[in-house]
Chain A
């Protein structure tokens, strides 16, 4: 277990309090609830490249492969009992049909390896097929927190969501550093996108700021596998 302490001491993960629990934000783009042995990633966007291929781009279709590889590394490191994919796991409704057999086999093996695998449905993947390994839900509760793809104003419990792909640019001493980031207030946490070819939306975009209103917000920049808490 000292492995985890070292991981944190080296800045690769960072504990924060949210909804009464301690969570680890990992520099590689997932969060982990230690008490519930749960690892959460969001916006995997499998098969984004092959989707864009059909618009005439000849992008390398390596994104699914790479995303799976990185996800497997995290699961291997944390050995969670439960993995939650927080929506938009598949870039479009036909993504599964296009997925290479080898990638699908990797995904299935990965899902079977953990006790419980949960697919939260998102706007890109609203109708996941039943044969997919894992539970398919629209939201779930973990401790005091609700996990869903997009925030819902009608829910009073603290929410953990994806959807927005937040990214942060830090300007200091005339330099600019940009990276994916976790945005969190006391009642809402937005996870960054995990998929290899996913872009980001600046945290100062109205779509994100309007969610928090006057609440105080913390940013955690993820850069080169490290987490940096940043003053707003």
Chain B
């Protein structure tokens, strides 16, 4: 098909005029999307940011509604973020108003007031912008069939962020439900560039047919540089301080800069460092997911008005939000994945025919290697991707109940419906039946108890919720993301009075003592206490702040990039592009020890601070290394090698022990069979599985996440899932939720498959080096302070230290005396 003419005929004059009035031409793929809509062909559009992707998704619907009058819900847009839905509404309302189209566009998210939600159910807009959770809630109402029956199109934005996670699984189930309610509708997916577009197309499509692919290549490669630091680059840790002057200079030289770092804690740190450097008082702001809505909105609107010169942020600004003209993106710290890096870089310069500008600032020398590997991959247009996985089973009970809240149904029909969602194509009837039984009555093995039934059955064999309370409880708990408990942070001005500036994880708040200081929302706060679910803190000056540590901050290194780093190490000819400081470091390593090879795993052992460190250079990412660390130390305990602690980075594992064990022990430690014995032992040890059981219990509806308002009732209702876990393990070991928890733990926490690959690949292929001191390459790893203490006998030894065993002897005598009397 030729690029232009046949399609432009199809565009109504009002659209042509609108394009012309702005001096634009519809792009060929925008027209192809209209074609796809008319042919009712589900399509995945992959285009770089700045290519008018969003408009491409909506254009067919706008055209269709212009040609045929529409008084019902026509198009549903699903966004991974509330903020994105709001943003799209702004960006979509403008052209619709400019063209004078009679099309209503509304958002519906957790923030939508209830009167508006009621009205939306009665009188849905033509285009509804929502999130998966809000959509699921709408689908649970009895009037869902009426609302969705005439749906023509569903647009899923940022599809790549949905694949391979529970939220994505949840979304595919919603899509399957919509097929049941609306018959055939067109599914459009919008995505940034990804490694495996076909996998995304399959995810988006129906069982009968994957979505068609429409790929728009970026005509220009981004222009990426690595900082040429004026100061010495550190060996390890997050030490971007050396480059603050360079970062600041870049901000000063640009109109608007986005500074990306990898964790929220680093945002605070980076912001603080920049602010200390800010001699010109440039307006620099901070933005991350833990800040309060008001704070974020303020930053958003300042950015939209062009009042800011830089924002320091995390992945919170990574997805397609478009608030202003960013001319440079700075990535501080390692990018951790090529796709992620591209996504971030794409935030700059929303004109697709000019290159995006980016500056990378590795936080240490190891990260410099990662930056280089990522840049080579981008040049070669290679991307990393996450492997797909079968759908999470804990979502199934939630979904079953959701459907039954809307209308009564039989298990057979629901089974077929669920199997229409891509991650559940292979769901077995056996698993489904167990999950259904769980939904109905808990599915417990003990037969002699009267079972409480959440569902009741009618004469035709259809099930429905047993009472209103079941429905209400389910609706309060819809969602899949279980967050760590969070407390709001109140910045005090007067006693107990002040403004809420954001949230921190509960466990973080609990480790603070009054007087402690921490960095939050860009300033140092002094912890005063916890009152009525608020962390109270007052502004403070001076003192070493404790930095908020947030859960989920660590991004795992993608396998692809790890491999890239390993390759780079083995091709000295490519080192010329590295900075002299990094080259010097590599040369030193080669002279002192050796470089990790591609066909073997390097293991170094050396004394350091009165203990012995054994370093495994795996290049398999933090999660896999964490698992390896737990298993290796477990095996070491068994062999009497007295491990003390271990620490991990993306590149390797460092185990600290009291004795040097030498090369002879290595084959017994670094061996695939630790995945057998040690893994089983370790998995059964409570904390690990209990953690995932906690999530599974909430997601599957066993216990609840939302508590009714007051604190008192929270104390009563909060129910430790650990206790349920223990009783199930004891009396009902084959219960379906234990199986689900196990699957979940294996997948999400362990990265077992990656570890298994590694161990099998390198069994017997180990290079062992006994060294007299720390090798240059080991420094970044041993300097990592987040070491994990080895569990086991340790805890009791610690309790002994903490306890008072002294006066026990006297009392013991009392008992003896008593026993003698009674004998």
Residue ranges of A at the interface with B (Cβ–Cβ < 8 Å): 1, 4-5, 8, 14-17, 22, 24, 34-35, 50, 52-63, 65-66, 98, 100, 102, 170, 172-175, 177, 196-199, 201, 221, 223, 228-231
Contact = CB atoms under 8 A, between A and B. Distances in A.
B805 A196 contact: no
B727 A57 contact: no
Contacts of A4: 815, 819
Secondary structure call for the B interface? helix
Contact of B452 (A53, A100, A174, A175): A53
Contacts of B818: 22, 34-35
A58 B815 contact: no
Interface string B783-823: 00000010000110011111111001001101110110011
Contact of A66 (B452, B473, B727): B727
A60 B811 contact: no
B719 A197 contact: yes
Contacts of B732: 60, 62
B815 A22 contact: yes
Nearest to B441: A58
B807 to A, nearest CB: 9
B24 interface: no
A223 B449 contact: no
Contacts of A228: 799-800, 802-803
Given A59-B703, A172-B802, A65 B811 contact: no
A66 B731 contact: yes
Contacts, number: 135
9 contacts: A1-B823, A8-B815, A15-B811, A58-B701, A59-B702, A59-B703, A66-B731, A172-B799, A228-B799
Contacts of A223: 799
B165 to A, nearest CB: 26
Contacts of A230: 799, 802-804
A58 B731 contact: no
B814 A22 contact: yes
B469 interface: yes
A5 B818 CA distance: 11
Given A4-B815, A58-B452, A201-B715, A170 B799 contact: yes
Nearest to B507: A176
A55 B469 contact: yes
A193 to B, nearest CB: 11
A177 B718 contact: no
Contacts of A50: 452
Contacts of B727: 60, 62-63, 66, 196-197
A33 B530 CA distance: 39
Contacts of B439: 58
Nearest to A15: B811
Given A56-B474, A221-B799, A15 B814 contact: yes
- Of B472, B808, B823, the most chain A CB neighbours within 10 A belong to B808
Nearest to A220: B803
Nearest to B453: A58
A34 B815 contact: yes
A229 B803 contact: yes
B450 interface: yes
A231 B805 CA distance: 10
Nearest to B473: A56
Nearest to A9: B812
Query: How extensive is the interface on chain B, given as a class?
Result: 35 or more
A175 B789 contact: yes
Contact of B702 (A58, A175, A198, A229): A58
A50 B794 CA distance: 39
Given A16-B811, A100-B450, A1 B731 contact: no
A17 to B, nearest CB: 7
**Which of B472, B728, B789, B814 counts the most A-chain CB atoms under 10 A from its CB?**
B814
B811 A174 contact: no
B475 to A, nearest CB: 11
Nearest to B721: A59
Contacts of B800: 228
A63 B720 CA distance: 13
Nearest to B794: A175
A31 to B, nearest CB: 14
A209 to B, nearest CB: 14
A196 B722 CA distance: 11
A228 B446 CA distance: 35
Given A57-B704, A100-B449, A231 B814 contact: no
Given A4-B815, A56-B474, A57-B704, A197 B450 contact: no
Given A100-B449, A100-B450, A199 B719 contact: yes
B444 A60 contact: yes
B802 A170 contact: yes
B442 A60 contact: yes
A196 B723 contact: yes
B756 interface: no
A34 B735 CA distance: 42
A67 to B, nearest CB: 10
Please provide the 4 A-B residue pairs with the shortest distance between their CB atoms, ordered closest to farther. Answer: A58-B442, A53-B452, A56-B473, A15-B811
B728 A60 contact: yes
Contacts of B814: 15, 17, 22
Contact of A56 (B446, B454, B823): B454
Given A62-B728, A63-B727, A199-B718, 4 more contacts: A1-B822, A100-B449, A199-B719, A229-B805
A174 B815 contact: no
Most buried by B among A15, A172, A177, A231: A15
B411 to A, nearest CB: 16
A219 to B, nearest CB: 9
Contacts of B803: 221, 228-231
Given A170-B802, A175-B798, A22 B702 contact: no
B454 A58 contact: yes
B802 A15 contact: no
B599 interface: no
Contacts of B812: 8, 15
Contacts of A24: 815
B483 interface: no
B724 interface: yes
A173 B724 contact: no
Q: Which of A1, A62, A170, A175 has the most CB of B within 10 A?
A: A62
Interface string B543-568: 00000000000000000000000000
A100 B450 CA distance: 7
Nearest to A56: B473
B438 interface: yes
B452 A173 contact: no
A62 B452 contact: no
